[in-house]
Amino acid sequence: MTDACIRAVVESIHSSPTQAVLYLSGGASLALGLLMSVPGASNTVLEAVLPYSRMSMIQLLAKIPAKYCSQQTADEMALLAYNRALKLSSPGSPVLGVGFTGSLATTRPKQGDHRFHLSTRTSDRHWASTVTLSKSRSRREGFKLLPTEDECERFFDEDKELEQLINGQICFKVYPFSSDKSNGDRKIILPGSFNPLHDGHLKLLEAATSICGDGYPCFELSAINADKPPLSIPQIKERVMQFEKIGKTVIISNQPYFYKKAELFPGSAFVIGADTAVRLINPKYYDGSYDRMIETLSGCKRTGCTFIVAGRKVDGTFKVLEDFDVPEVLKDMFVPIPAERFRMDISSTEIRRSCGL
């Protein structure tokens, strides 16, 4: 392929809205150089990692692979890259995870074929290919394909993707129903069960967004509950429909705990009520250990996360953030929403009761 053809292909890639994370082992480092050499790479590449040594690969996969150069390893790399791309991308942006492992020409005598395994993962598609090459003296001498080439493709519908989320294969799924433009990479997230979604949720997120000043407002529903069975796929889809009707973005995650949410959405502002805030700073929920509470929330703080706190009823009395003793080391993590900016005492539980549900 001529330099002009390569440039045209790379320019076409950069013109796509898809953002990618690439985990590449072996000879694909040359392809990465070509991808990065054409202006516009920042539109496409969120992150690129070259796990070149065995220990690097082991740390990436968090295990010793059965074979370092195999389709299974490439598939696992692509899935990890896809989950990483979800975390790094703007909400609703199409993302791609790429995994590559190859056994190509080296400076030492080599047994077996020269081959590579390529895998890509998107929200609804997994594509994998194994290619065997003729042996040559160097990686730049124009590999020649042999007849042995294997390719497969699988597609996922919404139910399958949600099943993968519940099982922990993917970390979250975004339903980008909102037409609002993001004012930055930071997410302003209102977590909840949304059973049902009501006007209080909408006004609370609106108030928090006005306080934060910039960011992408969205709701977050965890498919996994700390104290209850996981939501079923029909339950998730039913609740998602509420957001579709009003054109608001919702993220379905598999993490019920805030210290895990902070890992999923680093740098985000989480919108919570005073009832949740008082639990966050209560050592009771950290096996009775004050030090563990400080350590856990300090970990959230290091990710850049903050908590935007609205007044709520606590034990029957309306409370605001200032009514609680937040440890000094954590105070800058907690930002109050003044009661005059937002106050709504009714809860989803009370709405269900009033409707006889």
The pLDDT, as a whole number, for residue 192 is 94
Encoded amino acid at 241, one letter: M
The pLDDT, as a whole number, for residue 142 is 47
- Most confident option among 11-25, 146-160, 178-192: 11-25
Q: Could you give the CA distance from residue 322 to residue 275 in angstroms, rounded to a whole number? A: 12
* Residue pLDDT, tens place only, 120-161: 999 999 999 998 876 654 545 544 555 456 899 999 999 999
User: From residue 345, how far is each of 147, 200, 233, 321, 349 by CA, in Å?
Assistant: 69, 9, 30, 15, 11
Read off the pLDDT of each residue in 234-241 and give the average, rounded to a whole number.
98
Q: What residues are paired with 154 via a beta bridge? A: 126
- DSSP E strands: which ranges in the chain? 19-24, 45-49, 95-103, 114-121, 125-133, 145-155, 172-175, 187-191, 216-222, 250-253, 269-273, 306-310, 312-314, 317-319, 334-336
For the chain, the first-to-last Cα distance in angstroms comes to 65
Read off the pLDDT of each residue in 214-239 and give the average, rounded to a whole number.
93
The pLDDT, as a whole number, for residue 219 is 97
Report whether pLDDT(44) > 70: yes
Mean pLDDT of the chain: 89
The pLDDT, as a whole number, for residue 224 is 94
Is 130 in contact with 71 (CB distance < 8 Å)?
yes
Residue with tokens 């003793």: 325
Closest CA relative to residue 282, chosen from 217, 330, 241, 346: 330
* Residue pLDDT, tens place only, 275-312: 999 999 999 999 999 999 999 999 999 999 999 999 99
User: From residue 29, how far is each of 26, 32, 48, 100 by CA, in Å?
Assistant: 7, 5, 10, 10
* Residue pLDDT, tens place only, 325-340: 999 999 999 999 999 9
Q: Angle CA(93)–CA(88)–CA(198) in degrees, nearest 5? A: 65
Burial 309-338 (b: 16+ CB within 10 A, else e): bbbbebeeeebbbeebebeeebeebbbbbe
Residue 240's SS3 state is: helix
Q: Could you give the CA distance from residue 13 to residue 233 in angstroms, rounded to a whole number? A: 34
Residue 218's SS3 state is: strand
The pLDDT, as a whole number, for residue 29 is 79
The pLDDT, as a whole number, for residue 147 is 47
Q: Is the pTM of this model over 0.75?
A: yes
Closest CA relative to residue 104, chosen from 31, 28, 7, 169: 28
pLDDT band at 99 (very low <50, low <70, confident <90, very high): very high
Burial 80-114 (b: 16+ CB within 10 A, else e): bbbbbbbbbbebbbebbbbbbbbbbbeeeeeeeeb
| Structural domains for the chain | 1-155 (3.90.950), 160-355 (3.40.50)
DSSP state of 345: -
Structure tokens at 347: 């809860």
Distant-in-sequence, close-in-space partners of 303: CB < 8 Å, separation ≥ 6? 262, 263, 266, 267
Report whether pLDDT(13) > 90: yes
